[in-house]
Every structure is written in structure tokens, then in C-alpha cells.
């Protein structure tokens, strides 16, 4: 008996709603602690930053758990679970920046810098970088959700995606405003997206 494919529309609604919730939480946290939205990239130290840092870590951890949980529940195989996680993560991130811009006016442009993540150490980059990765995750995740359950996973494509992901990770971890490691990021994004689409 063939198992039903994950409901992509339901996953999309969840991801967009989660992006809105995440943006609202970030706005509240930053305002309550006196750290303005976007300003953390220019002042990642001091009492205000220390006050918000532990809350940001908790928020990020909760976000990852929520995305992983819904991916696990939505999928029926390793491939569809991975596809659901990638799809939701990508839409959540795109929604997050869209709702932040609508609510606060930040980011004002795609080249505005952001402190992207704190786990395991700070990730830095212009907003266009995580949005490009998010778009690749949406398309690649959607493709994994729609592929025939009888099709085989291509090991070489998984290896290409993993290599691209490693290059992306390095680019984010070794960058700091105003210098972004585009030489690592661009080939990483190409390999990552190609691997996701072909896997």
C-alpha cells in the first residue's frame, strides 16, 4: 500500500506562521532588552547583549526542535522527512525576514548584515546569503517531497550537497562585518543547491 505524500500546503502554512511568530518574538526580545532589531551586528557585547544572548540561544534551540519535529511527523521516510525539514526551514527563514522588514523596516536592503545564528558559535552574513540558502532549501525540499517513493537516492548528489553545505558553514562562521567570504559562499551555494535537486 502506497503511503500518502506529505501535505505541502500544510507545511507551507506552518512555516510561514512560524516565520511570523519568530519575527514577533525577536522584536519583543530586542525591545525589552534595549537591543534594537539589526543593531546587534554592530554591538555584540555589553550588558544589553548579554541579557538577550541566553534568550536568543533558547529561541534558536526551540526553533530547530520545532522544525525537526514537524519534519519527522510529516514524512514517512528518511527522504520525505528531510524534504519536509528543508522545505519548512527555508520558508520559515524567508518569512522571518519578510515579516521583520514589514514590521520594523529592517532589513532595509539585502546587503544589510545580520547575526544569523549563535549555535555553536556566531554566524554572520548579509541578509541575502541566508535568504539564498533558504530559497535552495525550499526548492530542494519541495523536490524531495514530490519525488516518487520508488526512486533511489543518488549518493553522489548527497555528497555534493554535503560538500556545499560545509563550504556555506565555513563562509558564515569565518565572516565578520563588513567582510563576507563570498569565495566560499558562492561555490558552496551552487554545490548545495545542485546536490539537493539531484539527490
Three cell numbers, residue 125: 552574513
Gap between the Cα atoms of 13 and 79, Å rounded: 21
Distance CA 117, CA 120 (A): 8
Listed by start position, the domains of the chain span 8-148
pLDDT given at position 32: 77
Query: Whole-angstrom Cα distance, residue 157 to residue 155?
Result: 5
pLDDT (0 to 100) of residue 5: 59
- Name the one residue in this structure whose C-alpha cell is 554592530: 42
- Residues of the chain with confidence (pLDDT) below 50: 1-2, 43
* Secondary structure element (H or E) that encloses residue 176, with its range: none
Record the cell numbers describing residue 110, joined without a space: 539585502
Alpha helices in the chain (DSSP H): 8-33, 46-74, 78-104, 128-146, 155-174, 182-198
Residue pair 96/117 in contact (Cβ under 8 Å)? The answer is: no
Residues with Cβ within 8 Å of 9's Cβ and at least 6 positions away in sequence, in order, are none
At 44 the pLDDT is 54
At 55 the pLDDT is 81
Say what the pLDDT of residue 2 is.
Answer: 45
What pTM was estimated for this model as a whole? 0.89
Instruction: Tell which residue, 88, 89, 106, 84, has the closest CA to residue 97.
Output: 106
- Would you state the pLDDT for residue 12? 96
Q: Give the integer Cα–Cα distance in Å for 157 and 143.
A: 14
Q: How far apart are CA 73 and CA 94, in angstroms?
A: 22
State residue 180 phi and psi, 5-degree precision: -105, 140
Amino acid at each position: 500500500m502506497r503511503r500518502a505524500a506529505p501535505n505541502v500546503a500544510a507545511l507551507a502554512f506552518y512555516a510561514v506562521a512560524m516565520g511570523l511568530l519568530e519575527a514577533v518574538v525577536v522584536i519583543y526580545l530586542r525591545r525589552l532588552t534595549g537591543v534594537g532589531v539589526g543593531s546587534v551586528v554592530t554591538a555584540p557585547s555589553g550588558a544589553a547583549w548579554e541579557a538577550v544572548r541566553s534568550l536568543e540561544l533558547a529561541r534558536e534551540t526551540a526553533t530547530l526542535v520545532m522544525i525537526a519535529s514537524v519534519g519527522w511527523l510529516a514524512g514517512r521516510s528518511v527522504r520525505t522527512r528531510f524534504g519536509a525539514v528543508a522545505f519548512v526551514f527555508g520558508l520559515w527563514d524567508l518569512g522571518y525576514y519578510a515579516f521583520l522588514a514589514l514590521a520594523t523596516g529592517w532589513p532595509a536592503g539585502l546587503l544589510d548584515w545580520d547575526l544569523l545564528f549563535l549555535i555553536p558559535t556566531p554566524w554572520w552574513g548579509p541578509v541575502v546569503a541566508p535568504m539564498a540558502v533558504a530559497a535552495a532549501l525550499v526548492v530542494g525540499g519541495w523536490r524531495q517531497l514530490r519525488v516518487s517513493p520508488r526512486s533511489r537516492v543518488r549518493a553522489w548528489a548527497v555528497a555534493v550537497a554535503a560538500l556545499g553545505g560545509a563550504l556555506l558553514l565555513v563562509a558564515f562562521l569565518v565572516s565578520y562585518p563588513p567582510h563576507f567570504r563570498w569565495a566560499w559562499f558562492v561555490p558552496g551555494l551552487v554545490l548545495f543547491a545542485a546536490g539537493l535537486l539531484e539527490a
